[in-house]
A and B are shown apart, each in its own frame.
Chain A
């Protein structure tokens, strides 16, 4: 599991860790039943306070992304992918809302915003297909 912490960011460290873990669950890179590093290990690895990591694990357990098994450690929960996806949907909607607000502030119309979104999608799809051909 590779996580990246940005120090001094406006996003609290605990949120950074939680978001990245739920992203890894949503994308299937963390598989249900997979064992998570212990609080101590992850704290050391990231050079982050153990209490912070513990709080993140507890929060993700509450959100049903992880489960703690007595005496065995912390594991990725069975439905982690769909739960993670749902959580990400919410934050994606929030980000889109902010982008839309910026667009409106710049004087763009709804039509133009949709057009920009379509263009962005097209670019992604065409670069993905180029990569496929190359490989």
Chain B
């Protein structure tokens, strides 16, 4: 197995005329917790289903644990733990029954471990699945995803529908049982601030493209809002990547990448400016609603306009 647990190279996927993924490219390093972020409908679930060989790609290359999921879906699924977005399980089964039911599907299933996880996650083994709460349901799904000791765990929006206390508990379980054991975790969400405490790295998917991949810690340092007077906006370098731009009277507020470089050059040129730290939701918003949805040439144009304003 290489250094990458998951690799997407220029992957395209359309459903009829609807282009869901367009040249999607990213890598997940082995042993890390990777958060995959995007708005509803950004293509997160489609990408995940492709990783498991549940959907075929139109173009590009996908490797999961070094395997092509399209060629060897069973090979991939035997080494990957997967928790679907709204995992439906047989409601009439008791939790204990579904554990026994799932066991024969996996050569590496460890039933003692399954029971242990069920205890740790407080899953009531004698209760019928249809009577479980949302939180218990997610944790039962996690038990099923982990009991075959997967090297890679793929969780599709696991925190969706959990209350804040359950989310924190879920994050704790993730940290103790997955990060603590050195596994790779790939975890999709639409809430950047929720994944921040646990993710080593985040990727933001928007309209089928990865618009940013970064270490969680670096993202905030790199993306900041800078407020300067419109007259001074000519000082904004052509090469600066402006994510979002708002003019307000004589002031111009821009959200930029590589903020430190820009701050330094503004300082060197003696341009008066104010730097505003952004929280992660604001950063996410800048990426998915800002000007960078535009094609690259439009982006340059936005900067020209910013320069002229």
Contact = CB atoms under 8 A, between A and B. Distances in A.
Interface of A: 5, 7-14, 40, 43-44, 46-52, 55
Interface of B: 33, 168-169, 171-172, 175-176, 179-180, 193-194, 196-200, 216-217, 220-221, 277-281
A49 B278 contact: no
A50 B180 CA distance: 8
20 contacts: A5-B197, A7-B194, A7-B196, A8-B280, A9-B279, A10-B279, A11-B277, A12-B220, A13-B196, A43-B175, A44-B172, A44-B176, A47-B171, A47-B172, A47-B175, A47-B198, A48-B197, A49-B33, A51-B200, A52-B217
B217 A7 contact: no
Contacts of A52: 197, 217
B175 A50 contact: yes
B200 A7 contact: no
Contacts of B33: 49
Contact of A8 (B199, B217, B221, B279): B279
B180 A8 contact: no
A39 to B, nearest CB: 10
B281 A8 contact: yes
B168 A49 contact: no
A121 B277 CA distance: 29
Contact of B197 (A10, A40, A47): A47
Pick the 7 closest A-B CB pairs, nearest first.
Answer: A8-B193, A10-B277, A47-B171, A48-B197, A10-B279, A47-B172, A47-B168
